[in-house]
Structure 1
Amino acid sequence: MTIEEFEIILNRIQQQKTETQTLEVKSAADGCPKKLFDTLSSFSNQDDGGVIVFGVDENQNFREVGVYDPQDLQKQVNNQCLQMEPVVRPLFTVTEKDGKSFVAAEIPAVDLTERPCYYKGVGRIKGSYIRSGDSDEHMTEYEIYSYEAFRKKYQDDIRVVERATMQTVDEKKLYDYIGKLKEGKPNLASLSDETVSELMSVTRNGSLTLSTVMLFSPYPQAFFPGFGIIASVVPGTEMGDTGEQGERFTDNQRIEGNIPQMLEEALQFVRRNMHHRTIIDPYTGKRADRTDYPLTAVREAVLNALVHRDYSMHTEAMPIQLLLFEDRMEIRNPGGIYGRIQVDQLGKVQPDTRNPVLAMALEVLDITENRYSGIPTIRREMERCGLPQPEFTDARGSFAVCFRKRDENDGKRDNRRKSDEEDLQSSLLLYCRTPRTKKEIGAFLGLSSTTYAIQRYVMPLVEQGKIRMSMPDKPKSPKQLFYTEI
């Protein structure tokens, strides 16, 4: 950074009196801080890196105390950076203010393939940190494993399930799948089913893989109890809220089975617990069902969770969560975003795939397209329904998508429309106590199109038995009269 940029940071510290996700302050008035390893690790392990500012004392309300010796400080900091794995290469900037010296050390992000960066003195497990707000926190073993899994390209979707045998899967569906694998592939079709199974990771050395079990076993949870979905309806806006009778959930279901079955049951759960309204378009007269959330978007979100969740041994006790609150729905799955992609790039760039064999198998089974169209579809469906855009969150080994309901003002407008509609119907019923022609009704409603007036306003009341036709066997007759029975 330039000296000018450093001075802006110093001024901002005095204004905000706080550290941040990418900013740490250290006093260094009496010497170099002895242990910078935690911060060096956490800054190196986040994509934006971070800056350590020396010469500001947090314990004195962020008072600018200056550093003891800028040159020696840089040397001592660099010595600590050399004790990291991989070695950290800081970029120093020095400035003076009010006769005091200040030093900034920019800590660059370590490449994803080299993470986690850790202090060699205590080892990878104890020496790896992650930044959370303004603090440095120990990485969990799972977070460390996640980096290793990407670096070494572990494929947990094809790890062998030791206890699984052909008797524990639906053999007919499995062999139908192998047949589909051969379709349009002459070279593959010429091979035996056993050879195709090995090549396409249905089996490994004759043993069934996790993908095969998750797709074709009637009950994969016999092997992996946590690889299911916990679906809950919360009578409030936060977990822990209770209903009028003290109930914590108004519906609560453990969804199990193979992936196609869990997908369908999850959709049934959402359908059962969503509000359904019938809306009549005032211009076209067409009826449409409106739900809290578009089911197409819900399907894509649940499917994404089932396909892209982490299936490693570290998450075997972690089910997907499907939570319906009063104001939103959340779908949370174990395993953060995989690879280099970031949240703001979702649906815009091609991502790394955590479970490529599983994703390909679902494509062959016509359950998913496997063309990275899921998130664009979710966004498009939410927009089409006039709902807020989905919110995606990647946080410490988990990923979540949040769908929010319509703004309360939308509901008030809907209620006003409903009230206006009811008033109009009452007036029309009163008007038709005297039999009326189509033309008379159109004029009464102020509509030039009598066809639209009848279809939009009168026929629904005819279907409800509130208005009758003088010639019910000739509904299109120009002599037709409409009347209300008194």
Structure 2
Amino acid sequence: MTPVELENLITHTQALKAETQTLELKAAAQGCPSRLYDTLSSFSNQDEGGILLFGIDEQRDFTPVGVYNAQDLMKHVTEQCGQMTPLVRPVFTTLLKDGKAFVSAEIPGMDVTDRPCFYAGKGRLKGSYVRVGDADQPMTEYEIYSYEAFRRKYQDDIRPIEQAGWSTLDKDSLEQYLGKLKAGRPHLSRLKPEEICELTGLSREGIPTLASVLLFSLFPQGHFPQLCLTAVSVPGTEVGQLGPEGERFLDNRRVEGTLTQILEEALAFVRKNIRIKTIIDPETGKRADREEYPLTAVREAILNALIHRDYSIHTEGMPIQLLLFEDRFEVRSPGGLYGRLRIDQLGKVQPDTRNPVLAVAIEALGETENRYSGIPTMRRELAQAGMPEPEFRDERGTFVVCFRKGDQTSIQEAAGPAAARDAGTVEEKLLRFCAVPRSRQEIADFLGITSVPYAIKTHVMPLVERGLITLSLPEKPRSPRQRFTASSSPTSSSR
């Protein structure tokens, strides 16, 4: 940083009146702050590092007060940097402005293999910090472990599971997998099955590994109950919001089994709980069904979570979460980004692989090509559906993939007036069906929707609000004896 850049930073900070993710303010008018260790640690543990700016008093409305002595201040800051492990090497810049001295100390971000940087006086577990907004917060034990795991190249997918015997594995599935591995590999075909298992990470010294359990166990959750997927459909935009009948979830399921079974059953859950739109091409008149979310993109998001989640002992109690909200779809998997990969690099560079044996095995099973095309596929599918770009978030030990619906009228409008007329046919058919009083279950069955609350909230209540359907018990809208009757003809409703 040059003196001119430091002056600009001071001016900007006074106007902003706030610290940031990469900026910490210290007055230092009466002496050097004695506890810089937390900030030195947090800045060192983020890629962009950070800047300590001395001479601005945050408590006095960000007044520029200047430092007591620039030379002595830099000496004491350097001494505190020397008490960090690894050593922190600051870059100082000084400025004399309006007769007052200001000092900045640029703290470079350390390489991932050198993290966590911590205050030696407290030790690794208590002296490691992470920057969250403008605050320094202690690292969790898992965050510290994740750096250690990358540095030492731990492979949790090949740790032996002593309680899992070979008798608990599906022998037919395992034999089919070994057959696929040997296809086109004549040298591998010469080995015995147990030798292939050792060579490919399915066993360690004759004991099945976690990869074997997750891929071929008759019931993996017998050993690891929480290595599953929980899927919920929420009647709102946040967990905890209630539906029209007081329900917390429109659908709620715990998905268990092997990784390939979880993948297929999770996809089935999504198919069951999302809307299907019928689009008519105004040029050709051809009909086409389109899901709320492109299922190819949904599949890639779930598959990525299953392959790349953290399977260490620190996250054994955390299932993958699949959440369907009114406005978005999310997959939340334990374990943040692995290694040096950053959010802005996703789908653009070849990443480090947390679970290489699982990744290769899933490829051999035909579920993925293992060519890092998952995220580009998500982006392409969402773009083709006219939806916003997928969002990716690293939330301190949890990786989140989010698809947002965006403007739900855009697809229909783009398809022309014929599509709009067709969209009204469901309403017309429902009104004809309700020419006689109908129960909630009858309506849901008629619409082909398994979630009764969802069917009523989405398709019936809007017609009630418009006066096209009446309630038999209007004073008790949630009564199980409630019946819904059309009060207007389908023809008039479509105008």
- Report the TM range for the smaller structure's normalisation: 0.7 to 0.9
Tell me the residue number matched to 2:349. Answer: 349
Aligned with 2:33: secondary structure? coil
Q: Aligned partners of 2:406, 2:308: CA distance in 1, in Å?
A: 28
Q: Aligned partners of 2:143, 2:78: CA distance in 1, in Å?
A: 27
Tell me the residue number matched to 2:48. Answer: 48
Tell me the residue number matched to 1:384. Answer: 384
Aligned with 1:154: secondary structure? coil
1:189 CA drift (Å)? 1.0
Over 3 Å counting, the alpha-carbon distance change for 1:420 and 1:325 in structure 2 is: closer
Aligned with 2:268: secondary structure? helix
Aligned with 2:53: secondary structure? strand
TM-score by length of 1: 0.85
User: 1:340-391, CA deviations, whole angstroms, 9 ceiling, x for partnerless residues?
Assistant: 1111111111000000000000111111110101111111100111111101
Over 3 Å counting, the alpha-carbon distance change for 1:190 and 1:416 in structure 2 is: closer
Tell me the residue number matched to 1:398. Answer: 398
Tell me the residue number matched to 2:188. Answer: 188
Tell me the residue number matched to 1:244. Answer: 244
1:415 CA drift (Å)? 10
Tell me the residue number matched to 1:112. Answer: 112
Aligned with 1:315: secondary structure? coil
Aligned with 1:367: secondary structure? coil
1:424 CA drift (Å)? 12
Tell me the residue number matched to 2:170. Answer: 170
Alignment of 1:368-383 (within 5 A): 368-383=368-383
User: 1:182-234, CA deviations, whole angstroms, 9 ceiling, x for partnerless residues?
Assistant: 11112111111111111111110000000010001121111111111111111
Aligned residue type for 1:178: L
Aligned with 1:157: secondary structure? helix
1:176 CA drift (Å)? 1.5
Moved more, 354-363 or 232-241: 232-241
Aligned residue type for 1:310: D
Q: Aligned partners of 1:324, 1:291: CA distance in 2, in Å?
A: 13
Q: Look at both structures and tell me which one has the larger radius of gyration over its CA atoms.
A: 1
Q: Aligned partners of 2:225, 2:343: CA distance in 1, in Å?
A: 30
Aligned with 1:29: secondary structure? coil
Tell me the residue number matched to 1:149. Answer: 149
Contact 2:282 2:416 in 1 (8 A): no
Aligned with 1:277: secondary structure? strand
Q: Aligned partners of 1:79, 1:137: CA distance in 2, in Å?
A: 22
Please provide the CA RMSD for this pair.
1.7
Tell me the residue number matched to 1:338. Answer: 338
Tell me the residue number matched to 2:458. Answer: none
Aligned residue type for 1:142: Y
Aligned residue type for 2:341: I
Aligned residue type for 1:60: R
Aligned with 2:153: secondary structure? coil
Aligned with 1:312: secondary structure? coil
Q: Aligned partners of 2:399, 2:159: CA distance in 1, in Å?
A: 23
Over 3 Å counting, the alpha-carbon distance change for 1:257 and 1:70 in structure 2 is: same
Tell me the residue number matched to 2:25. Answer: 25
Q: Aligned partners of 2:266, 2:424: CA distance in 1, in Å?
A: 40
Aligned residue type for 1:380: R
Alignment of 1:246-285 (within 5 A): 246-285=246-285
Percent of aligned pairs sharing the same letter: 60
Aligned residue type for 2:54: F
Contact 2:279 2:415 in 1 (8 A): no
Tell me the residue number matched to 1:199. Answer: 199
Alignment of 1:116-155 (within 5 A): 116-155=116-155
Tell me the residue number matched to 2:300. Answer: 300
1:153 CA drift (Å)? 0.2
Q: Aligned partners of 2:306, 2:423: CA distance in 1, in Å?
A: 48
Q: Aligned partners of 2:335, 2:40: CA distance in 1, in Å?
A: 25
Over 3 Å counting, the alpha-carbon distance change for 1:412 and 1:201 in structure 2 is: closer
Over 3 Å counting, the alpha-carbon distance change for 1:298 and 1:424 in structure 2 is: closer
Aligned residue type for 2:188: L
Q: Aligned partners of 2:173, 2:377: CA distance in 1, in Å?
A: 29
Gapped regions of structure 2 (runs ≥ 5): 426-495
Tell me the residue number matched to 1:472. Answer: none
Does 2:218 match 1:218?
yes
TM-score by length of 2: 0.84
Aligned with 2:236: secondary structure? coil
Over 3 Å counting, the alpha-carbon distance change for 1:35 and 1:415 in structure 2 is: same
Q: Aligned partners of 2:3, 2:283: CA distance in 1, in Å?
A: 63
Gapped regions of structure 1 (runs ≥ 5): 426-486
Does 2:258 match 1:288?
no
Q: Which runs of 4+ in 1 moved over 4 A?
A: 422-425
Over 3 Å counting, the alpha-carbon distance change for 1:414 and 1:239 in structure 2 is: farther
Q: Aligned partners of 1:159, 1:165: CA distance in 2, in Å?
A: 14
Tell me the residue number matched to 2:360. Answer: 360
Contact 2:235 2:249 in 1 (8 A): yes
Q: Aligned partners of 2:178, 2:355: CA distance in 1, in Å?
A: 19
1:334 CA drift (Å)? 0.4
Aligned residue type for 1:269: F
Aligned with 1:252: secondary structure? strand
Aligned with 2:314: secondary structure? helix
1:418 CA drift (Å)? 5.4
